[in-house]
Amino acid sequence: MTGINRWLSGTAIASALAVTAGSAGAVELEVMHWWTSGSEAGAVQEFANAFNDRTDNTWVDGAIAGGGDVARPVMVSRILGGDPPGAFQFNHGRQAEELIEAGLMLDLTDVAEEQGWADVINPPSLLDACTYEGRIYCAPVNIHSWQWMWLNDATFEEAGVEVPTNWESFTETAPALREAGIVPLAVGGQPWQQNGAFGVMALALAGEEAWLAVNQDKDAEVARGEDYARAFQAFGEAREMADGVSVQDWNQATNAVIQGEAAAQIMGDWAQGEFAMADMVAGEDYECLPGLGDIAILDAGGDAFYFPQQSDPEVEAAQKELAALLLDPEVQVAFNSVKGSLPVRGDVDLGSVNECTQKGLQLLADGNVVPSGTALLSPDTTNSLNDLMTEFWNTPSMTPEDVQEQYAQIIEQAD
């Protein structure tokens, strides 16, 4: 498989070179990322086109297939090995912390000041995630949020109940759904999905204050407390509601909802692309509940580009040009409308968007936003929580009280 990937990316690079060989490219900038699915690849092409057309430089595409967990080690080994790419994609937050600490990343503060990033980036927490000791090291490009529940209207009709509007009414419909032979909740088997779903429930059911105390301040007492106990109880109920769908990937779970096998899924806004592909209309065929309909707050995570420190001043100039370009209003619209994510600038208009995206934009504009889990927790802590939540999910004998105590212990040790 790697052989084929290498060959594919090799030909991608070769063809990119062939196309642009004639132009007076000042610098060929290699950009590494893991956007390889249809809409992702189309979106990143928007960046490449803008970079090739509007500057003298050339975009050399370095796509790595297999997702972030495969791509990140490759990127890091390139940087440490002394052959850094011109730019690379990371989820912003704490994944690149150590690379910045080691002085391997280019300081973008002057670009940010010149372009006025501090004024246009909304929510500001995105820029905070790029800031390390007062200096800015990355350019955020999009917003993705976990805090959504997706419901298939037809399944509730079949079960003869109203489409629920929050988590409590959803749990009440569960027995009716079961009776109609529909699994109430679809959750994929991968650990990050179970931990992610719990994160959504914690924010929606335990409230913003408790969520921030646990995730931001690492307050284990709050994680042991009353508010979180509610979230763990609900997560235990969710475990029972999800019994009957055994799929792995998130999009298979989404598909179970689309097909009517399951009624609902807790998943980030990237799931909406699947509903769109199945020609379903938001508000008619499917519903979306931000924050499970209880507390409508979004967590703003997403992708960002980092620029490794280079010795050649020409390359550095090209890197800064690219950084500025990524946040250009036009480029933001072009990229995000293909990718299906929200732009990081509060001052651009995506044009006609559906009801769910509208809700999301409104919440962003109102400032109902918290930083994302990846920005607050180190990958180490996130991984430990993934392991714990998936163990709970697959061990029926494990009670919500057990898992709460172990969760609090991980938070206690978190750095």
Partner 1 sequence: MAVAEDAGSTGHRAAASSGAKRPSRLLRNPMSKIALVPMIAIALVVFLGGTVWTIVYSFTDSGLLPRLDWAGLEQYDRLWSTRKWIVSIQNLALYGFASMIGTLVIGFTLAALLDRKIRFEGVFRSIFLYPFALSFIVTGLVWQWILNPQFGVQGIVRGWGWESFSFDPLNNPNIVMWGLLIAGLWQGTGLVMCIMLAGLRGIDEDIWKASRVDGIPVWKTYIRVIIPMMRPVFVTALVLIASGIVKLYDLVVAQTGGGPGISSEVPAKYVMSAMFGSQNLGQGFAASSMMLLSVVIILIPWAYLEFGGKKRG
Q: Beta strands of 165-227 (E only): which ranges?
A: 183-185
Q: Between 173 and 195, whose beta carbon lies closer to partner 1?
A: 195
The count of other CB atoms within 10 Å of the CB of residue 283 is: 12
Tell me which of 27, 34, 60, 72 binds partner 1, using CB under 8 A.
Answer: 72
Would you give the DSSP letter of residue 282? B
Which of 249, 371, 356, 365 minimizes the C-alpha distance to 302? 371
Q: Between 95 and 142, whose beta carbon lies closer to partner 1?
A: 95
Q: Is 259 in the site for partner 1 (CB under 8 A)?
A: no
> Least distance from C-beta 99 to partner 1, angstroms?
7
Q: Is 24 in the site for partner 1 (CB under 8 A)?
A: no
Q: Is 244 in the site for partner 1 (CB under 8 A)?
A: no
Q: Between 23 and 259, whose beta carbon lies closer to partner 1?
A: 259
Say if CB 252 and CB 262 are below 8 A apart.
no
The residue behind tokens 């973008």 is 108
Instruction: Give the x/- contact pattern for partner 1 in 328-357, rule: CB under 8 A.
Output: ------------------------------
Give the contacts of 407 (CB within 8 A, at least 6 positions apart): 223, 228, 232, 385, 388
> Least distance from C-beta 10 to partner 1, angstroms?
21
Tell me which of 248, 281, 349, 365 binds partner 1, using CB under 8 A.
Answer: 248
Contacts of partner 1 in 179-238 (CB under 8 A)? 189-191
Phi first, then psi: what are they for 383, rounded to 5°? -65, -40
> Least distance from C-beta 180 to partner 1, angstroms?
20
Say if CB 338 and CB 46 are below 8 A apart.
yes
Chain centre distance of CA 330: 22
Cis, bond preceding 123 (omega within 30 deg of 0):
yes
Strand partners, 321: none
Q: How many residues bind partner 1 (CB under 8 A)?
A: 29
Q: DSSP for 62-80?
A: EE-SS-HHHHHHHHHHHHH
Q: Is 412 in the site for partner 1 (CB under 8 A)?
A: no
Q: Is 85 in the site for partner 1 (CB under 8 A)?
A: no
Q: DSSP for 382-396?
A: HHHHHHHHHHHHH-T
User: Helix crossing, 226-241 with 379-394: angle to 10°?
Assistant: 50
Q: Between 18 and 80, whose beta carbon lies closer to partner 1?
A: 80
Q: Is 408 in the site for partner 1 (CB under 8 A)?
A: no
Instruction: Give the x/- contact pattern for partner 1 in 96-135, rule: CB under 8 A.
Output: -xxx--x---------------------------------
Q: Is 309 in the site for partner 1 (CB under 8 A)?
A: no
Q: Which residues bind partner 1 (CB under 8 A)?
A: 1, 69, 72-73, 76, 80, 95, 97-99, 102, 189-191, 246, 248, 378-380, 382-384, 387, 390-395
